[in-house]
Structures are given as C-alpha cells and as structure tokens.
Amino acid sequence: MSLATGCWTWFAVALLGAVWGSFSYALALRIAGGDFAKSPLGALFSRSRCPSCARSIPAIALIPLAGFALVRGRCAHCGVSISPLYPLAELFHAALLVLVVRQFGPGAYSAAIFIALSAGATISVVDIKTLTIPGALVIAIFLLALYPAIIFGPFVDHLIGAAGMFAFFAMILLAFPGGFGGGDLKFASAIGFFCGWELSIVAVEVALITGAVAGATYALVTRKGLRIRFPFAPFLTLGFGTAVLYGREIILLYKSVVW
C-alpha cells in the first residue's frame, strides 16, 4: 500500500468514526431528554433539530468535523451557539475507530469493539446529564459481547466475567447503599461479559481508581463531602476501553513485575 493510499484509507476510517460519533452524541441527548422513551424509532432516525428553535439543522452543519466550523458554531436559523461537544464527540469517535482498527485490524471484531465502546460513551453522557443508565444500551453491549464470547471464547470465561462484575458491585451496593446505582451494576455486568474474567479485572481496577480520584477531587472542590451522587458510568467506560485495547499488555506487565 502506497503512502497516499494509506493516508486516504485512514482518513476514511476516521470519517466513518466521526459520522458514528455524531449519531452517538445526538442519541445520548435524545435519551437524556426523554425522546427515546417517547418514540425509540423517532429518536434513532429523526433529523437533528436545534434545541433552541426546534428547526431542522441544515445539511452543511451535519458534515462530520467540518460542519461546526462551516456554520461558525451557531444555528443557521436562530443564531444560538451550538455546543462544541458535538464536534468533540465526532473527533473522539474518529480517533477511537482509528485506534481500534490499528489494534485489531478491519473486521467484525473491531466493529463489535467500536460499537460497544461507543455505546459506553453514550451511556456516560446520559449518566452525566441524568444520573441514569439507559437499559437499552446495556442490552446492546450484552448482544455485541456474544461475538467475542462465541467466536473467541471460552464462553464460560465471559460468563464468569459478567457474574464476577455483578457480584463485586452488588457487594459494594449492599455495603455502601447509594454508592452505586442498579444501572451501574448492569453496565458493569455487560462489560464483564464482553471482556471475560481476566480483562474484567483491568476494567474494574481502572474504573475504581479513576472514579475515586475524580470523586474525591469533585468533593473537595465543591465542598459537598464524599456523600454525593456522582456519575460512575464514564469511569466504567474508561475501564472498559482500557481493558479491551490494552488489557492483555497490562496483565503481562503485571505478571512480569510480580512474578
């Protein structure tokens, strides 16, 4: 493959990721706003609208990565500012898909990983905005996990991963009521089923460490104390992504240091 061909190939991969990112973030906002509960199909397939004037967003503004700049970050109809989180979500997904394809190559496994991690990102946005976790997206991750569980297996390892994550967070939930929600429990179980038991250890360690640091920092800055409701899905998603992309390397490094 020539350099020019390679560059265009990776550009196409990034563009595909950005397109998916635009859909993912819009879906997160529609779920958080209650649109998905009212009409799931409408939330999935209806045209994007300005949250201020409710008019359809013009096609030029929907061009991945470039659309935000072309309309100068404002609605073409009412002139209200558009959140920069839209292009940031597209950029994040563009980088994520490039990273996944570089790590695992093109194919069904990469697609399953990318869509599952994207679903995790969507869940995280909803959790930040509403402190709830949409069950439909958790089910989607469970279904996507069937591919690695069946194709690569052993299937029982993935079942142990799901059961282990469920049991771990259930014990925390019982010991410290209010520390986590039932949605966190289900989301963690889906991650465990996708990862299998070994990679689940990496996922939960990353989630707990980063979540504890962020939660303590937030409590200190806001002076609200540690008994606060805090969205944990973003840290579960971070642990999920770390485990899937780099979990094997982390486990090998740990074994080389300890053993």
pLDDT band at 226 (very low <50, low <70, confident <90, very high): low
**In this structure, what token pair is assigned to residue 133?**
């976790």
| Mean pLDDT calculated for residue range 90-116 | 96
Residue pair 204/180 in contact (Cβ under 8 Å)? The answer is no
pLDDT digits (tens, 9 = 90+) for 104-120: 999 999 999 999 999 99
Q: What is the pLDDT of residue 57?
A: 75
How far is it, in rounded angstroms, from Cα 30 to Cα 48?
Answer: 10
Every domain of the chain and the residues it spans: 1-106, 108-259
How far is it, in rounded angstroms, from Cα 41 to Cα 5?
Answer: 38
pTM above 0.85, yes or no: yes
| pLDDT for residue 76 is more than 80 | no
Name the maximum alpha-carbon separation found in the chain.
64
DSSP 190-224: HHHHHH-HHHHHHHHHHHHHHHHHHHHHHHHHHT-
60-69 contacts: CB < 8 A, separation 24 or more? 62/22, 64/15, 64/18, 64/19, 64/21, 64/22, 64/90, 64/94, 65/15, 65/18, 65/90, 65/91, 65/94
Residue pair 175/228 in contact (Cβ under 8 Å)? The answer is no
| Mean pLDDT calculated for residue range 6-10 | 84
For the chain, give the percent of residues with pLDDT over 70. 92
